[in-house]
Structure 1
């Protein structure tokens, strides 16, 4: 359960930003689109509050993620998308909620937005595996792309509130700061590395850890 009382003002700001993030997406996923129909912003905020606070659902990890892949392929038909998934298992469950879909969408959208049109294709390779850290079982995801990359001096800044990932971005600075907050709510984490160790310009590797549901 999320500790709303711990820092109420900050948490409410995060929840408002979740709504704004949905409204700012160039491509709104079909679930969010349905939510927007018939809801005022206040009503939508109330729904997001419920999602943000309650993380007691046992979510089918791959089902949510496959929905994100389908959404990306429909939304970016003007780009040559090559999305490949490599996993050691077809059954993963995490203790989360529907906001996990927002996490997947945001990272995938960034991989397309920050990819040069000079590339013949937008390549996104995703690996999903299990990892044990301090006797806790995690699901680990890696999103490896061939985009423009993130300079070393910005690798932490892109997850901070109010920061824009890269020059010329719109709205996504809010997105990644919220991705980090959502994952923190799940007792997970996110960080970014270079696809090629010594050359950030060859693409990014976004790493996610989420505790596995027993």
Structure 2
């Protein structure tokens, strides 16, 4: 099992396949249950979700930290897999919740990076915020004000906002990931939106039409 978690991560950032979307595949819950008797089954969960976890962490902390946090996320998940709620077919929120706790250990580094970007307009992590050159040019003008606003959010508000905007989570999925009520998700997002708008105006600094719509209040 440990060897499988140390396998190289895909370099193209391609999202993993959600359990519900894979035709004929076992659900995440079924894989986790099977791994209690056959630990090697857990490797399929890694293959399915490691790319998306890695991409999300890289956007927040950079690719070097993402390598370590992704590996630790799945090692932690493997250790506590007996506690997984099998009524939840998909494990994506659970895994992102574990990753969020690990990201929290790097809170100072994340805030420091945001503040540096806000002051200078230069930071290597910001290069991962957008995937295309056109989007990167568009985002560059707003990245400094965005970084300053993100650095001032509480850790909980930042987790909530970025799971929505960068992991494409629904309110319910965020609630499951962070183990908070959906009402708390809504209040955190409302507070974060106000702060971002005050810092950046109504321009969307988070790179995409879908992210603009969710920041303005639309959600699944």
Give the structure with the larger helix fraction.
2
Q: TM-score, normalised by structure 1?
A: 0.29
Relative contact order (C-alpha < 8 Å, sep 6+): which is higher?
Answer: 1
Q: TM-score, normalised by structure 2?
A: 0.29
Give the structure with the larger strand fraction.
1
Larger radius of gyration: 2
